[in-house]
């Protein structure tokens, strides 16, 4: 039974890669799951996978504010003690996100629409359905009330995958040096 469930889930569960570049030039990449919900291109994943989008927006304004204040301060020739204290308060945050990318199914797809429900750790995403035109089966979503104690669930993941990704400053884009084969790992639950 588990084998049948695993074969079914493979048809609509794909890897999701999130990549972030930080102010100190570190690049971090993580692999998660996405579930294709229907032929209209709606996907489901965790809200956690989309955290870089909101952090990027927040950090972008903080970086701009820092740059404006530091440029204005450096242009002043005479620095009073008060101005020097203000300069010291302007701190660079090495964890500011300067760039991010989300690869759905390992492909850089344009996200047409997304909704993040952090309190439920859920994100719903819509992409152009042409990317998944070969998918013939979709999951059935049921309420938790239909799950009985002792029922077996088929969980699947892409854990412990090392990605060799860098950031090319000349193109201002991420460079995937070599995308490893992303192996699905079934977890009998």
Tens-place pLDDT, residues 150-170: 666 666 776 666 788 899 999
Look up residue 25 and give its DSSP letter. S
State the pLDDT at residue 96.
95
- Please tell me the distance from the alpha carbon of residue 35 to that of residue 178, in angstroms, as a whole number: 24
pLDDT at 182: 63
In this structure, what token pair is assigned to residue 4? 């049948």
Check residue 164 and give its pLDDT: 83
Give residue for tokens 């977890």.
Answer: 187
The H-or-E segment that residue 43 falls in is: strand 42-45
Spatial neighbors of 175 by CB under 8 A, at least 6 apart, are 165, 166, 167, 168
- Region of 29 on the Ramachandran plot (φ > 0 left; ψ -120 to 50 alpha; else beta): beta
Report pLDDT for 112.
93
Local structure of residue 37 (DSSP, 8 states): -
Residue 135 neighbours by CB under 8 Å, 6+ apart = 11, 12, 36, 39
The pLDDT score that the predictor gives to residue 7 is 81
Instruction: Give the pLDDT of the chain (189 residues) as one tens digit per residue.
Output: 677 877 888 888 888 889 999 999 999 988 888 899 999 999 999 999 888 988 999 999 999 988 887 776 665 555 566 666 665 566 789 999 999 999 887 788 888 999 999 999 999 999 999 888 888 899 887 777 776 776 666 667 766 667 888 999 999 999 887 666 666 666 654
pLDDT at 73: 62
Asked whether the CA dihedral 22, 24, 27, 31 is positive or negative, the reply is negative
pLDDT for 21 equals 96
User: Number of helices and strands (H, E) in the chain?
Assistant: 3, 10
């Amino acid at each position: 039974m588990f084998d049948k469930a695993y074969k079914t889930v493979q048809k609509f569960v794909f890897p999701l890669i999130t990549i972030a570049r930080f102010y100190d030039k570190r690049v971090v990449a993580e692999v998660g799951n996405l579930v294709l919900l229907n032929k209209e291109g709606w996907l489901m994943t965790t809200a956690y996978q989309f955290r870089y989008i909101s952090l990027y927006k927040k950090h972008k304004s903080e970086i701009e504010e820092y740059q404006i204040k530091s440029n204005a301060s450096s242009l002043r020739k005479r620095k009073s003690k008060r101005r020097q204290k203000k300069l010291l308060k302007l701190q660079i945050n090495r964890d500011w996100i300067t760039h991010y990318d989300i690869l759905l199914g390992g492909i850089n797809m344009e996200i047409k629409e997304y909704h993040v429900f952090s309190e439920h750790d859920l994100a719903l995403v819509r992409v152009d359905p042409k990317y998944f035109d070969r998918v013939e089966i979709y999951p059935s979503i049921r309420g938790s009330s239909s799950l009985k104690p002792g029922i077996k669930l088929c969980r699947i993941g892409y854990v412990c995958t090392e990605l060799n990704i860098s950031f090319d400053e000349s193109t201002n884009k991420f460079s995937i040096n070599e995308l490893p084969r992303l192996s699905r790992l079934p977890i009998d639950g």
